Amino acid sequence: MKQKPITLFNTLGKQKNLLKPIKSNIVGIYHCGPTVYWTQHIGNMRSVVIADLLVRTLRISGYKTTLVRNYTDVGHLTGDNIGDADRGEDRMTKAVQREQSTPEKIAQKYIDIFQKDIALLNILPADHTPRATNHIHGMISLTQTLLDAGYAYTTDYAIYFSVQKFPDYTKLSGQKLELQKQGLGHGDISDTNKKHPQDFSLWFFKAGEHANAVQTWESPFFSSLVKNGEGFPGWHIECSAMSKHFLGTTFDIHMGGIEHIPIHHTNEIAQSTCASQVPHTEYAHIWMHNEHLITDNKKMSKSEGTAYTIQDIIEHGCNPLSLRYFFLQAHYQSKQNFTWEALQASETSLQKLYTIAKTLYQKIPWYKKLFIKPHAQYIHDCISFLGDNIDTPQSLALIWNMLKDDSLSPSEKYATLIHIDTVLGLQIRRQAEQKEKPTFTPKEIQELLTRREQARNNKEWKESDRLRDEIQNQGYEIKDTSTGQQVYKK
């Protein structure tokens, strides 16, 4: 298959770049994954969906992909919330205190939840999903390389990267070093031997404010306070070590949210570039950043109860794929405002799309269903939109226009729709070709259905009818079949 051109907006240069894979037709992608100390909110899920859309676009355009999405299970400090990733308490340590469990059990618990949630969003599996704690040796090795090359230095409390040794330190963010936020990257407040405020930690010793750290490892590094070098890695060195392990010293695309630009990704570039010891080697050729998802025009907040999760989506009676449809309606570089009304509108549109697809499929004679072909021009136009910096709003609009095109037969419309959906990931074929109309019932409706089934088994017909009415009053309809109750949203 001939490769189609792909252009992506590169934060490192502030312009669209034509993708030119380093390794022929295989595109290496690193996506900053979740810190697994809590359930991920839907803002984090937007980033995961964008990465999935990129992978699907590349594949339909003739490229092979290698996607690495990490799990951070140590070293991500709470100071990152206020723009200082070297301050505060380790998030996993906070989770240990909150749940009275071990870091390993907590990490596994939230990895399992994350994997279940992204499966509900129809996210393709990543090729590699490393945990930071399984790559400590690589982090120590990178840190030692930076020390040996003179880019890092040691104090009693930490090993720091010296930002003044890397002239291009602010190339990604575009900021001036002296104008960055006051206090950014100060690390331990008692560490008077830190040379520059923006120097960032590669390794924290088990000393000072981290004297009681829960997760630590011995290292070859020397500190007068910690003889065996015991400590834990800084957040930034983790991604550099894992990306190098799976993708090499340099790779094609690095992805993440825009909040990573001024600190985390800036620090990754500095340490990885200097550790490569190859002049002018780029860490990642293209940097893609998605904008924030806000709610009711405000930043998502746990304290205000607006850090919604996939479980919240389900409990509101919506298919999680309606959230995916919602994300498709805005360009990934634009802020998107989430409201329950907007999600319900996406749910309605998605169900309408399913209904249209099912109707089209039923109109195709059985003997033609194995030989349907998509409309070439619509496919070309849609892939062109997606190949132009993942323009999903244009692609989605094209689908609806195609469905209104009277010059196309039902089989052409259906084949085009399901072909494009290999990128959009809305599971249209699965929904259209199953026997019953799909639904995604919240927990409360499922409980009513169970009670109604019990009433029917006990021949309590009045109670069965009452429960049917209660379910219908909440916007669902029931069909009693030989295989049991079938429920779908009105």
| Domain of residue 169, CATH code | 3.40.50.620
Q: What percent of the chain has pLDDT over 70?
A: 95
Q: How do strand 26-31 and strand 251-257 relate by DSSP bridges?
A: parallel
Q: In the listed set 432, 454, 469, which residue is the last one of a domain according to the structure?
A: 432
CA 292/CA 46 separation, integer angstroms: 8
Indicate if 25 and 69 belong to the same structural domain: yes
Indicate if 274 and 326 belong to the same structural domain: no
Total tally of structural domains belonging to the chain: 3
Q: Contact 67/31 with Cβ under 8 angstroms?
A: yes
Could you report the per-residue pLDDT of 349-394, keeping only the tens digit for each?
Answer: 999 999 999 999 999 988 788 889 999 999 999 999 999 999 999 9
Q: How do strand 484-489 and strand 476-481 relate by DSSP bridges?
A: antiparallel
CA 405/CA 427 separation, integer angstroms: 22
Indicate if 53 and 201 belong to the same structural domain: yes
User: Looking at residue 282, what is its pLDDT?
Assistant: 85
- Choice between 465 and 341, residue whose per-residue pLDDT is larger: 341
Indicate if 344 and 254 belong to the same structural domain: no
- Choice between 437 and 140, residue whose per-residue pLDDT is larger: 140
- Choice between 302 and 119, residue whose per-residue pLDDT is larger: 119
pLDDT band of residue 192 (cuts 50, 70, 90) is confident
Type of residue numbered 136? I
User: Looking at residue 190, what is its pLDDT?
Assistant: 59
Query: In this structure, what is the dihedral angle of CA atoms 278, 280, 286, 289, given to the nearest 10 degrees?
Result: 100
User: Looking at residue 184, what is its pLDDT?
Assistant: 44
Confirm whether 70 is domain-assigned. yes
Confirm whether 296 is domain-assigned. no
User: Looking at residue 82, what is its pLDDT?
Assistant: 77
Full-model pTM: 0.87
Question: Alpha helices, DSSP H only, in 179-253?
Answer: 235-247
Q: In the listed set 290, 322, 347, which residue is the last one of a domain according to the structure?
A: 290
C-alpha to C-alpha distances, 220 to 75, 141, 188, nearest whole angstrom: 18, 10, 21
Confirm whether 266 is domain-assigned. yes
Q: What percent of the chain has pLDDT over 90?
A: 73
Residue 340 has pLDDT above 60, yes or no: yes
End-to-end CA distance of the chain: give it in Å, rounded. 43
CA 365/CA 446 separation, integer angstroms: 36
Starting at the edge strand that comes first in sequence, how are the strands of the sheet with 200-205 ordered?
A: 152-154, 158-161, 200-205, 231-233
Q: Which domain, by its residues, includes 107?
A: 7-290
Confirm whether 437 is domain-assigned. no
Q: In the listed set 393, 409, 432, which residue is the last one of a domain according to the structure?
A: 432
Q: Specify the residue for token string 């998502």.
A: 300
